[in-house]
Amino acid sequence: MTRACDGCTLCCKLIPVEEIDKPRTTWCSHTAQDKHSCSIYASRPISCVMWSCRWLTDDTIPYDLKPDKVGFVIDPVLEDVQLTNPDTNESIIVKAVQVWVDAGHEDFWRLPKYRTMVLHWMAQGHLCIIRTKTPTDGRCLMPDGQGGITLQRHTIDYDMVSAKIKATIERIRRTSTAPKHVPPTEEAHD
């Protein structure tokens, strides 16, 4: 099945774009007034060229979970994320699915159809990081040990993730042609 954005531009609001100093959860200044297209699409930054949400790249994500309909964008690439327990300052590195969430949708995972998706990721050994407006504060969904999900608040080392994204962008810039998107695999950040 081939999917297309078809007017969905939620990534243009939620995803940070360093090349144009666009912060997360803020509409890109190049998003058209109707919020359904990009005014610089032909010359957009390489990070925009190479990025596609998981809804576009992964047919296992249900069709009805299109980002502009649900209020969140699933990152296509698993990230190494450093989680630091604020009580003990103990840190660990984990593979995580990142979900960039629009205001008002932070508890999406509590609804049954989304909860099933998050539990599926956990069964594959991945955590789920809910990315919101603040770069260093996120929520981590973890298995509760009884087949459910527990919410943990952790400080997330966004600079570590950002450095991996920058390295990937730099590798792509050195190649003659940029891919349309980064495949949803761990190898994308090696």
Residue 55: pLDDT band with limits 50, 70, 90: very high
Secondary structure class of 1 (helix, strand, coil): coil
Q: How do residues 122-137 score in pLDDT, each as one tens digit?
A: 888 888 888 887 665 5
What CA–CA distances, in Å, run from 161 to 13, 88, 167, 170?
19, 22, 10, 14
What CA–CA distances, in Å, run from 144 to 103, 138, 152?
26, 18, 10
pLDDT value at 105 more than 80 = yes
Lowest mean pLDDT among 64-68, 73-77, 122-126: 122-126
pLDDT value at 153 more than 70 = no
Looking at residues 58-87, what average pLDDT do you find? 87
Q: Which two tokens stand for residue 177?
A: 């042609």
Would you state the pLDDT for residue 21?
Answer: 92
Computed over every residue of the chain, the mean pLDDT equals: 78
Secondary structure class of 101 (helix, strand, coil): strand
pLDDT value at 54 more than 90 = yes
Q: Is the pTM of this model over 0.75?
A: no
Q: Which two tokens stand for residue 131?
A: 């990315």
Contact 189, 95 (CB under 8 A): no
pLDDT value at 170 more than 70 = no
Of 36 and 134, more confident: 36
Would you state the pLDDT for residue 130?
Answer: 87
pLDDT value at 189 more than 50 = no
Lowest mean pLDDT among 26-30, 45-49, 54-58, 112-116: 112-116
